[in-house]
Amino acid sequence: MTAALVSAPRLAAGTLAALMSDYTFRTVALGAAIIGLMSGVVGCFSVLRREALLADGASHAALPGVVAAYLITGSRDAAVLLAGAAASAVLAAAATVLTARRTRIKFESALAVAMSVFFGLGLALMSYAQRLPGASKAGLARFIYGEASSIVMRDVCASAVLALMLTALVCVFFRQFKLAAFDPEYAASAGLRSGAAGGALTAMTVAVTVLGIQAVGAVLMSALLIAPAVAARQWTRSLAGMTALAAVFGAVSGVAGTAYSSLREGVPTGPAIVVTASVIAGVSLLAAPGRGIAAKLVRRRRLRRRVLAADMSVPEGLGRTPPDVSAAPEQGTHLVATPDGEGRPAATLDGEGRAAASAPDKDGRGGGSDAGGA
């Protein structure tokens, strides 16, 4: 028993060392990490601009392009196939945008249709191509679920260059991207060309999505954009922090997912990477301080206890409340309290800073009933 416990970490360490010394694994893990990093960065902006769905559409729509590129050129080169993927993703995006603009069909509906049509077309083309001699060796199927092991050193170098360019772009124009994501209408009104920044962000999203389908697959690629961003949002209060953290989460997911799929026979890399990213997101949603579900529950219970305790000493509470409200007519305390018509509870609790400030907007109804019931 003890021997097993002791040897388990040693075994794990040994396996990890064995993995790290393996050239193929190192290459693949590095490639997956780079893709994860880029997805994390770009994903933050997609999520905040509510364009996460677009990434999903782009990755699905890339599939027919891959097969068509193979059928036309006969090449197995990843660069050629990905160029085809990009072309069909852009085509689908253009069709979606045009449909949404020219008809009364909503953007999401148009996207859903374009995505299904393109993906369906991709699958149909795929089954036709598979019957051609030599096609199975081209490994087209890897683009559906992803197969990181097909990544070679040349792919890693190419994506490293792209990742560097992307990081440099985001660092230099961070201010512009932030404004374009936060309030594009304000930017346009002030004469700042937020359209260019927004367009660049969309282009980057499509590029990263298409690049990622080789490792992660068309079906799941969008999850790698969304999950790290969602996870990172839980831990930070600034966009810069969120972007950096999402990059780390994405990269870690890439490496961990690759490691898991190399250790377990028959587990494809794409799902392994995406499951890792989702676990990180799930833990973050639950356990992050401040925004996590657990922290919110604790805070709410504490607040409730204080409201109840305050109500026990009604005369004192009543005696104190009016001066509290009128004492600072110009200050924020007063302003937090009044608009919701819940002046009293908010004002008495406001000394508690964040808890009180978030109470009126998110738990407004619940907080009110608490106070009323007690």
| For other proteins, the closer CB: 71 or 192 | 192
Candidates 28-36, 209-217, 313-321, 323-331; binding stretch for other proteins (CB under 8 A): 323-331
**Residue 189 C-beta: closest distance to other proteins, Å:** 4
Residue 295 near residue 285 (C-beta atoms within 8 A): no
The residue written with tokens 């369906």 in the block is: 120
- Binding of other proteins at residue 323 (CB under 8 A)? no
- Binding of other proteins at residue 354 (CB under 8 A)? yes
- Binding of other proteins at residue 179 (CB under 8 A)? yes
Q: In whole angstroms, give the CA distance from residue 303 to residue 370.
A: 10
**Residue 333 C-beta: closest distance to other proteins, Å:** 9
Grouping H, G, I as helix, E, B as strand and the rest as coil, residue 363 is coil
- Binding of other proteins at residue 48 (CB under 8 A)? yes
Candidates 84-92, 143-151, 301-309, 351-359; binding stretch for other proteins (CB under 8 A): 351-359
Site size with other proteins, rule: CB under 8 A: 42
223-242 footprint of other proteins as x/- string (CB under 8 A): ----------x--xxxx-xx
Q: In whole angstroms, give the CA distance from residue 215 to residue 28.
A: 9
Residue 222 near residue 146 (C-beta atoms within 8 A): no
CA 360 distance to own-chain centroid: 28
HSE at residue 153, side-chain half, CA atoms within 13 A, is 2
Q: In whole angstroms, give the CA distance from residue 259 to residue 17.
A: 11
**Residue 88 C-beta: closest distance to other proteins, Å:** 30
Site for other proteins (CB under 8 A): which residue of 336, 347, 349, 371? 336
What is the C-alpha radius of gyration for the chain, rounded to an integer number of angstroms? Answer: 26
Site for other proteins (CB under 8 A): which residue of 42, 181, 246, 325? 181
CA angle centred on 146, ends 145 and 149, rounded to 5°: 140
**Residue 50 C-beta: closest distance to other proteins, Å:** 8
CA 35, 37, 39, 45: dihedral to nearest 10 degrees? -160
| For other proteins, the closer CB: 48 or 251 | 48
- Binding of other proteins at residue 191 (CB under 8 A)? yes
Q: In whole angstroms, give the CA distance from residue 168 to residue 196.
A: 17
| For other proteins, the closer CB: 188 or 263 | 188
Burial class of residue 11, CB neighbours in 10 A (0-12, 13-18, 19+): exposed
Q: Please report, as ranges, the residues that interact with other proteins according to CB under 8 A.
A: 48, 50, 104, 172-173, 175-176, 178-179, 181-183, 185-192, 233, 236-239, 241-242, 329-332, 334-336, 338-340, 354, 357-358, 360-361
